[in-house]
Every structure is written in C-alpha cells, then in structure tokens.
Structure 1
Amino acid sequence: MAAANMSHELPPLPEYTLKPLPPLVPWASDAALQVALPIIAYWVVSGMYHFIDVYDLLSQYRLHTPAEVLKRNHVSRYEVFRDVIIQQVIQTVAGLLLSMTDAPATYGTADYDVAWYAQKIRLAQRAIPAVLATVGLNPSALASKVSASQPMLASALSGGRYELVQTILVAGQPTVAPAFASWELTLASILYWYAVPALQFAAGVLIIDTWEYALHRAMHMNKWLYATFHSRHHRLYVPYAYGALYNHPFEGFLLDTLGAGLAYLITGMTLRQSLFFFTGSTIKTVLDHSGYEFPWDPLHFIFPNNAAYHDIHHQSWGIKTNFSQPFFIFWDRIGGTMFEGDAEAKYARARRTAEQKMAQETENAAAPPENVPAITSALDNDENARPQNASVPRVTRKKSSSLSGSPAGNLKGLRNKVNESLHGKGGNVLGMERSR
C-alpha cells in the first residue's frame, strides 16, 4: 500500500562526492593538451601531405599540376610557415587564457546526472495519456490490455505510474522510496553519455560554420577588410596543407581562434570535449587546403565542404563564391554564393597557362642571353585576372591530372624544380627558404 501511495512521486536523486579529475595523460594537464593537440595535429597531417608532394605520390588525385605550384602562388613557403607559427602562438595564448576561466575539472556526478535525466523521462510520461486521448485512443484500456505481458509499457501508458520501490538511507535510516525502471535508466544513460555530447558537437559545428561564413563573406565584400587583412590568405592560388592557417594575424584570431572559443563557451563543452573538438576542426581545415581529392576519403561523405569545394574559392574566377568553411555548405546555398559555371574549363586554362610559362622559362634558360624572348604579359595576367561574381548550385568537376604522367624527358626538369621548391634549395624544413 505504501508503494501505491508513492507511485506518483519521483525517485530521489542520489548523493554524490566531487573528486578532482585526473588528467587525460599523466605528463600534461588537460588545459595544456587543449592548446597543444590541435597544433600537433596541424603539423602531423600537413607534414604527411608535404611528404606526398615532395615525392610526387598519389599525383592522380592532385587538384593542381606541379607547374601551377611553382608559377601561380604569390608568397614564399617561408612566409607561409612564419605566419602560421605567429597565428598558432596567438591561438596558444588565447587557449590558455580561456582555460583559466574554467573551474577545476571534477568527476563523481555521473550517477546523479543520469538520475536527473531519468526524472525528466518520468515526468515526460505524464503527458502520454493526454496525447493518446487527443488522437482518439483510450490510455486506460491500452494499459490494461498489455499489463500482463508488458507491465513496464502499461505503466508508461498510464502516465508513469510504476509500482517500483527501493530502500535508501535518509539521515542514516533505511527508507522506502520510488525507484526508476531499468529502461528509464538505460535511456537516461544514452542521453547523458552520447546524445547530449553529440548535440553539443553539432551545435559547435553550426556556430563555427555560421561565424566563419559571415566574417569570411564580409572580408570579401568590404574592400578595406579584404585589402587590409584577407588578401594575404589569397596569395595562395594553389593551396597546400600547411598553408591552411596562413592569414593576417588579426584575421586569424578573429576568424579561427575567436570563432572556436565562442563555440566552446556557448555549447558548454567540457575542457576535455573541446580538446577533441578543436583538434578535429583543425584537421578538417588542413584537409580543405591540402590540394588533394581522394575518392575514398570518408570525410567527403560526411562533410560536403572539402578540398575540391574550397579550392574553387582560391581561384580568381571563384573568389566571390564558396565562402562556407570548414564543415558544411548550407550557408552558401542560403546566401546564393555557391559557384556556378564550368569549373573544369577554367582549371584547364590555368594549367595550360602555368605550363606555358614554365616552358617559356625553360626555353629562355637554354637560349643565349641575346636571344631570350620576353615572357608575354598575357601569360602573367591570364589566371590572376579580376575575380568574377557567381552564385548558386555547386558543380562537380574532374580532378586535374598531374604532369607526372607526362614523358619522363619533359618532366625531369620540372619535377626537380618542384622538389627544389618543396624542400628548399638548402634542404630547409618544409621547403622554406627565406625571401630576399
């Protein structure tokens, strides 16, 4: 009878004791890992792509030919490396300051939190009879019909009227109290351990995509912002992996560091959650600037924003389109800024121009000085012409073939030049040579 009187009461929440959360690894704090892992991931992943570039591996998946790598970019690899390091220093300082605002990480509330979700599940069941009645069903009749075979279902149909009890200690005395059904605790555990973190990550992706689209588009639409800040990033007409964060330092802080920090604060992620979220976002940005489109890349099936999509934005003819970064492209659809046009024809033209310039330079180098013809200005201006506005549906294009498929006799000199550029004439790390 006592249990029946308690059938409408909520099961109590368990007591808990907070304990300091041990670091994920014994030799570094989670705060240190939060700023270190994205940087480590950046250089590990971009280093893998640099290795592929240097040794001309998987050339069939390149978006640009080796000639374009040499002739179309307007910034040295040393300058790119230097500016990326500057941005990562700013990113590190901001990350450490952000982690100082967090309370010390603790654990011990998991059972309490799961029970809290279970209470909400129990409260939600109280609306079931009203919902069933609204659609013309009799909740009491349904509950009676299944009570023998499915007693838990019958209790839920009755509005969460369970005859379940447990014995707990209250002021040191054993006391009978309502209890949760096993399915309620299972569902609450799924919500607590998986659904809510997934929702936080999804919200973080939405915030970053929205933030970056809005600011990125503004950087292009406002002439002063573009000339002062964003034009630096567009010196890379042929992006490569470790140039992903090549930006003006102020733009890098505003676009990347601040955007990720807002996602972290608004979604209420824990420090450990943000560690994985920031690292994943960094890797995604590197991949989008890698210059390769692999058909078996699983991320391409999850995120439509990939290297091929973003590479269009780096071309002079696509610079006013494809602003979305780094995960999805829905803002380009909504904003009418998705590229429309024959991208393959434009890529083919850029390849021909770069190859002609390379052939002309090779011919000039071989000819006597008095017979050296001037390189026509048309070749210099052909690809880097004024950007064109375009919008609407995304177009697919074939991947550009690498020049590595050309006869070895025609390619040897070009490949040597590419490797010399990638390695640096003095064998410098990441192919960086100081500009003079």
Structure 2
Amino acid sequence: MAAANTSYELPPLPEYTLKPLPPLFSWISDEALAAALPVVAYWAVSLIYHLIDVYDLFARYRLHTPAEVLKRNHVTRYEVFRDVIIQQVIQTIAALALSWWDEVAQIGKADYDIAWYAQKLRLAQRAVPVILSGVGFNSAALASKVAASQPALASILRGGPYASESIAPAFASWELAVASALYWYAIPALQFAAGIIIIDSWEYMLHRAMHMNKWLYVTFHSRHHRLYVPYAYGALYNHPFEGFLLDTLGAGLAYLITGMTVRQSWFFFSGSTIKTVLDHSGYAFPYDPLHWIFPNNAAYHDIHHQSWGIKTNFSQPFFTHWDRIGGTMYKGDVKEKYERARRTAEQKVAQEEENKLKASPAGPGPAVTSALETDENARPQQISAPRSTRRKASSISQSPADNFKGLRNKVNESLHGKRANVLGVESSH
C-alpha cells in the first residue's frame, strides 16, 4: 500500500496496491510471447512473399526479374533458411534472457500515475498568469470575461484553483482526460519514436563500420551480400555474430533505454521485424502504407545490395536521415543499371537453354532437365552469349506477368528442389 500527497494545495494522489500482471494468455507467459512473436511475424510475412515469388504474382512491381533470381545470388535458399533459423534461435535465447533482467510486471498503479500527470498539469497552469502578464495581458480580467461561458478556461487563466474545489482540492475533468491520454497514448508513442531513433542510429553506425572496415566486411558482413537479389526470408541472413550485434542487441538496447513494457515490446519487436522483411522483399508496391510512412523501403535498400551501390544507403530499417547526414545516400539514376543487370541475367539463361539444346539435338530429355535439380549446389559457369542469342529485356514496370512465363518454370525448379520442403532451394553460383 502506498500513497503520496505532495502539497495540500494540489489535489491528492490516490492510494494504490500493486499485484502481478496476469499473462494475456494462460498457456504462455508474456515474456515467452515477446520472444516468439517476432519469429512468427518474420515467417508469416516471408511466406506471403515466397508464394508471390513462386506464382510470379505482381510482376510489374518486382525490382528484379526471375532470371536475376536464378543467376545473380551466390547462396542457396536452403543455406539462407538455415542461417536465419540459427540467428532466430540466438535472438529467442537473448529475448528470454532479457526477461530475467526485467522487473515483474505489476498492475494497480494506473490511476495513481494518471493523477501524477494531472498534478503536473495543475502545476503548469500556475505559469499561465505570469506568461500572460509578461506579454502585456491581464489574466484576471481575461478570466472574468470568459468565466460565464468557459469556466474551465477561466480557471486556467487564473492559474487555478477550480470552482469544484470549494470543499477540497480535486482535479478537473479535462485534467484527468488529458493526463489519461498522456499516460495511455502519448508516452508510449514517444517511447516507440525513441526506440526507432535508437535502432536506426545503432544499425547505421555498425552497418557502415562493417563496410568501411575490410576485416569486418570479409569476416562477417560479406555473407549478407551474397544476396544480390534480396528476397523476404533472406532479411536476417547474416553471420550469427553480426546478426546478434546489429539486430538482436540493437533492438534490446532500444527496449531497455526507452523503458517499454513487455507488452509494448510485442509490437515494437514484431514491427521492426516485419519492416526488415519488407525492405528485403524485392517488391516496391505503390500502395504499401509502411513505405509511405518510412522512406527506407525495399527500393531504397535494394540499391545497397547492388555492386554499384554497396557503399551507400546504409540506413536501416525505418528512416534515411543518417545517410543524408553522413553523405552516404546514393545519388543518380539507377534505371539503366538495373536494366543492364536484367539483360545480363536473361542472356545467361538464354545461353544455358541453347547449350542444353545443342547437347541434346532431339530435345531435352529427362536426364538433361533434371541436371540442375539433382545437383543443388551446382554453380553454373558464366558464359557470354553470342550476339545472335542476345535478347533485349524489357523493363519490369512496363511488362505484364506473362513476359516472365518462359522463365517461371526454371524459377520454380529452383524454388522446389530436393530441400524445398523448408521453403525451396535455389541454384547457387
């Protein structure tokens, strides 16, 4: 039992009794749910984008063609899946360990905290007459003019007290309403905003260091850049140490520094995870509300995954202000660079098909068509195509989905290889 009454002139703070907060669901603790939700969110969103990839939906919004998916990445989908699972195991252990440092969540103090904010509002009102007199207004005269129609405003102009306090000090209804809004909405919003700033700052500084220091890049960060054509569930494909340092530790520090509750962390951790997946999805949907709010989107981050943009666009995952401040934002037209990569990838696919036909004049038989499927680690050689076999690739933004129909089967073969029961295998090279 506790009570507080800072001054007889102020309305008193109510008494409160604390008791442990029961879990939202009886079958799982809030702390375990905080560790599980980011993982569930990651794979739920990734699965949606994986299905979009497999069935070649929304082709006009793809940043890369299916040919690029086949020819430009240097890691199999199974390896990506495996390393993401390793990172999520580390992330889950860290989240559960973090719960040991947290105080046990309590309930019963909300009314006290709301009244505390109301007290501070009352104290702030005492400065109103001083401020008005400083700019040449008579606060008492102003209060008299509006007393009949706006009694609450008149009390504010006088700096308090209120008519309802004729017997004992008491809060005005508007004071409690504003204090309640501060407690339930404004303070959590500020915590979320501060958390976003902390994560963005943490990731930018470390991400930039990973690129500027050759040893850090070769030892750790180069693994993530085997994905020249990012896809959704490759978002957390990192070296385990880098994944812990950049993602897990950064989010944990934001949570601790801002003083979020465990239930607030459900939304903060899951939201950050979903944003990271979307940034690696490979799709730039014009109607994505998150991409309207946050300028750091899939198109922005995809530039960083290209060889010509690898030393720019380090910001992740929400805003881009650090790139502007640090002078690392990519500037220039990227259209021709993307077109060149698309043409090169499609030429490689065309040359590979031609080589198959030459090897089997009667047409590709079962042994030929299954060659890449049986050797999932095969790395196709880069063979330059003769001029007669080169085909001009049209822009994704101007091509309907059926422009990729000739490549869809090869992509699906890659996505549904021997180990595809975990989300598909892509030929590496």
**Normalised by the size of structure 2, how large is the TM-score?**
0.88
Structure 1 residues 418, 122: CA separation in 2 closer, same or farther (over 3 Å shift)? same
* CA distance in 2: counterparts of 1:362 and 1:15, whole angstroms: 79
Structure 1 residues 203, 39: CA separation in 2 closer, same or farther (over 3 Å shift)? same
Structure 1 residues 269, 432: CA separation in 2 closer, same or farther (over 3 Å shift)? same
* CA distance in 2: counterparts of 1:50 and 1:58, whole angstroms: 12
8 Å contact kept, 1:42–1:286: yes
> Runs of at least 4 residues of structure 1 off by over 6 A?
433-436
8 Å contact kept, 2:59–2:396: no
Root-mean-square deviation (CA, aligned residues, Å) is: 2.2
Say yes or no: does 1:428 pair with 2:421.
Answer: yes
* CA distance in 1: counterparts of 2:13 and 2:163, whole angstroms: 18
8 Å contact kept, 2:58–2:401: no
Residue 416 of structure 1: which of 406, 409, 416 is its match?
409
Q: Secondary structure at the match of 1:290?
A: coil
Amino acid at match of 1:49: Y
Deviation per residue, 1:178-226 (Å, 9 max, x gap): 0001110010000000000000000000100011011111111111111
8 Å contact kept, 1:260–1:278: yes
Q: Secondary structure at the match of 1:14?
A: strand
Following superposition, the deviation at residue 405 of structure 1 comes to 3.1
Following superposition, the deviation at residue 341 of structure 1 comes to 1.4
* CA distance in 1: counterparts of 2:46 and 2:160, whole angstroms: 55
Structure 1 unpaired stretches of 5+:
1-6, 167-175, 380-397
Say yes or no: does 1:201 pair with 2:192.
Answer: yes
Structure 1 residues 361, 433: CA separation in 2 closer, same or farther (over 3 Å shift)? closer
Aligned residues: 396
Structure 1 residues 407, 131: CA separation in 2 closer, same or farther (over 3 Å shift)? closer
Following superposition, the deviation at residue 404 of structure 1 comes to 3.9
Q: Secondary structure at the match of 1:15?
A: strand
Amino acid at match of 2:36: A
Structure 2 unpaired stretches of 5+:
1-6, 362-380, 387-394
* CA distance in 1: counterparts of 2:277 and 2:414, whole angstroms: 20
Task: Quote the residue 1:113 is aligned against.
Answer: 113
Task: Quote the residue 1:274 is aligned against.
Answer: 265
The 5-angstrom pairing of residues 202-221 of structure 1 reads 202-221=193-212
Following superposition, the deviation at residue 256 of structure 1 comes to 0.2
* CA distance in 2: counterparts of 1:154 and 1:267, whole angstroms: 37
Say yes or no: does 1:23 pair with 2:20.
Answer: no
8 Å contact kept, 1:209–1:324: yes
Structure 1 residues 364, 404: CA separation in 2 closer, same or farther (over 3 Å shift)? farther
Residue 367 of structure 1: which of 358, 371, 383 is its match?
358
The 5-angstrom pairing of residues 37-436 of structure 1 reads 37-165=37-165, 177-368=168-359, 375-376=382-383, 400=397, 404-406=401-403, 411=406, 414-425=407-418, 427-432=420-425
Following superposition, the deviation at residue 375 of structure 1 comes to 4.9
Task: Quote the residue 1:170 is aligned against.
Answer: none
8 Å contact kept, 2:42–2:274: yes
8 Å contact kept, 1:72–1:237: yes
Following superposition, the deviation at residue 296 of structure 1 comes to 1.0
* CA distance in 1: counterparts of 2:382 and 2:256, whole angstroms: 54
